[in-house]
Amino acid sequence: MVAARQQRRRRWGVPALLLVYVGYVGLGAGVLQALERPAEVRAAQHLLRQHWELLGNHTCLQGPGLQRLIQGIIQAYKSGITLQGNTTSLGRWDFSGSFFFSISAITTIGYGNLSPSTVAGRIFCTLFALFGIPLNLVLLNEIGQLMLLGVQHCAHRLEEVFHWQKKASLLIKTCALVTGLLLFLLLPPLLFSDKEGWSYEEGFYYSFITLSTIGFGDYVIGMNPDRTYPDWYKNVISLWILFGMAWLALVIKFCINFLETSSDFCQCKKKSTEMAEDLMDGNKNSMTGLHDVEICNDKDTKTKRPDESHTYTAPTEAL
């Protein structure tokens, strides 16, 4: 009976979830179209106006020749080369730039503003990412577990010192969330404002787009040819990306666990209500409802995590 109910819930739950997913994406598409489409049209009109003004003011220029020059500039920019007066700027493929590109590749951020242009570079990038992405996932998981272990340890210490049973875990989780917000989302935009000349909103936008691995590529650090960056800058940002992704993944995991727990709680409440109605009606299936509720209670007990039950287990390596 329980297995049949679970199969029915899964059979109807997936289409319902898919419908919500498509509706959410459609809502995002509609809002973004309303916000961004007018700006896109204005930008296209401005570009065409500049194009014809340039050809009109410089009659020696020919349309096809100008188009080839524009394409060459775009291709050079994709390769990391920009014009500075009568010279060109290099530096995107020095060691620090290559190190930052390697981080963005194996973390699957993929800004898209820079990519290998040689056949050998593309082949190596493919093999490098093939082995680097699993390695990155393992490292992020270990960092996340280390952060979780620290949270559980702090909660355990608070319970021992202040004899808090329920408040310790909530307090420590709140402190971890606030600390992570400061270190990975709220304070980094100040550094970006100083080094990149971005506004605070642009720096915050870049921080979230990077740590969530969306990586649009409209904002990327260390790419302004008019600015001089210290040698430590990209290396520190690479470490910030690693630990920030682990923290954000841990936050997302907490949210998913909360939603799943809430869903199971709602299902158990529904079964409890059905059982009460069956008992009042003298239904023969009331014992089945009682058995389901007992399963829910057992499920809640088994799924209680160490930080929820306020116990702390030391790592085996320390024993």
Q: What whole-number percentage of the chain has pLDDT above 70?
A: 72
Name the nearest CA neighbour of 155 among 177, 173, 143: 173
* CA-atom Rg of the chain in angstroms: 28
Q: 155 phi and psi, to 5 degrees?
A: -65, -40
What span, in angstroms and rounded, lies between the C-alpha atoms of 47 and 41? Answer: 10
Dihedral Cα 158, 163, 165, 166, nearest 10 deg: -60
Question: When comparing pLDDT for 235 and 314, which is higher?
Answer: 235
pLDDT in tens, 17-74: 788 888 988 999 999 999 999 998 898 898 888 878 887 887 777 778 778 878 887 7
Question: At 297, is the secondary structure helix, strand, or coil?
Answer: helix
Structure tokens at 281: 């009606």
For residue 80, what pLDDT is reported?
A: 65
Amino acid at 224: N
Q: Give the pLDDT band of residue 274 (cuts 50, 70, 90).
A: low
- Please tell me the pTM assigned to this model: 0.68
For residue 130, what pLDDT is reported?
A: 94
| Mean pLDDT, range 146-174, rounded to an integer | 77
Residues 6+ apart with CB under 8 A from 167: none
For residue 318, what pLDDT is reported?
A: 34
pLDDT in tens, 205-244: 999 999 999 999 899 998 887 888 898 898 899 999 999 9
Q: Give the pLDDT band of residue 289 (cuts 50, 70, 90).
A: very low
What span, in angstroms and rounded, lies between the C-alpha atoms of 274 and 180? Answer: 43
What span, in angstroms and rounded, lies between the C-alpha atoms of 28 and 173? Answer: 31
pLDDT in tens, 69-108: 788 877 777 666 766 665 666 667 888 888 888 999 999 9
